Structure 1
Amino acid sequence: MAADALVEPVPDAPAATADLGDETGLLVADYHAGIEIGLRYERGVELASAADERRERLCGLLAETRADRLVVLGDFGHRIGETGRTEREELRDLLDAVGVPVTLALGNHDPGVAEAFGDRIDVTPADGARLGDVGILHGHTWPAPEVLAADVVCMGHEHPSVKLADEVGGARVERAWLRGPLAREAFADAVDVGEWGDPELVVFPAFNERSGGTWVNVAGQSFLSPFLPNGLERGDVYLLDGTRLGEYRAV
């Protein structure tokens, strides 16, 4: 089965459906529950909580797609380390509402989430896991060999965005997808690749629009993942509405 049939973005949403073999999954990345509290202490930014809106948006996507499972590609919560009260409350309310099993690809912000909610969600190792022919990981570590043996690899962590300028000098930043063939050479010195699935890589936009991102088309921006950009020698960038902007290095 072709990779583009395995993972399909939901139009106008930072989410995708995926054929997981015996289930249909709704995949999202970088939910960052409790981010408003984090921004207050990290940057002195005061924002009203959007927890209810995030929950309603995600539950709406689950209903729209009729997914059997929610898969979060890391950073379900925002705080690194032990979860705070506000974050735990947001995640508890969300897990009460989703109505489907939840799998979390452990992200760098998630050790406290796994400790607090490990009895309610399935948590993968940090280097990811396979769900059918789909490999999942957050992307802050090198992937497991079984992930690289998949037909398509889905990750978060980067929060890819593009900065778009108009004819009169204005600019806007939009969340984006990155998709392209994964380059085996990028893993030769770090991972015992074993069986190579010649996978497509799909880098998900952040679900949480308040979490910032990597501007993939701005000089001087660097990737966060240890296997990017070398692992994506050529790939396209897409906006949430499906607009293809072309090769990400040339946008």
Structure 2
Amino acid sequence: MTLRPVARELAVLGPLAQLRAGRLPRRLLQLVVGLALYGASLAMLIRATLGNAPWDVLHQGMAVHLPMSIGTAVVVASVLVLLAWIPLRQPPGLGTIANALMVGPVADLGLRLLAAPDHPGARAGLLVGGVLLNALATALYIGAQPGPGPRDGLMTGLHRRTGVGLGRVRTGIEAGVVALGWLLGGVVGVGTVVYALMIGPLAQRMIPLAVVQLPERPRVPQRP
């Protein structure tokens, strides 16, 4: 019996359902590509030296004071955020673990391969390219429907447990990590503002194009 594809909408799936939902090879490939591009985009934004994405302000500040690279700081922060999921009773998915372990090493590789340009125009181009690539990577990752990343799960978990709106939760979290990262020596600038203003609208436009259609299994009629 064939399965009928559903509309391009994100499904609400538990950890096991994410693996059983169908089209797993395609979704895993899209997940890996999305996370790799996400790590590369972080390296581009950092090398633009015009201000990091909010969480990367914190990651860079951690790397200033601790014997670790920025990519390692990404992994450490991800693990700490996942520990905060425990009291929130937020279940992780395959994509959650992959996000925590993969983005940081790819960002470190990108930082080794990229040098900070001297020309202001090149730096601005690197910033714009990094934001666009980050939005595409976000769409690919979310569209594969593997479960939320550590930071997204923290946001949705706090929203669910406190009843505070998602926008206010996200703003509060990101304002906090930017402030802490800046105090630790992370770079805040126009790039931080550009990223904060543009990533939401860009990702919102791209996500519907990247959602992997999941097959809808026919319902078994209930006996009277």
Question: Per chain length, whose mean CA-contact separation is higher, i.e. which structure has more relative contact order (CA < 8 Å, sep 6+)?
Answer: 2
For normalisation by structure 2, the TM-score amounts to 0.31
Q: Whose helix fraction is larger, Structure 1's or Structure 2's?
A: 2
TM-score of the aligned structures, taking structure 1 as reference length: 0.29
Higher strand share: 1
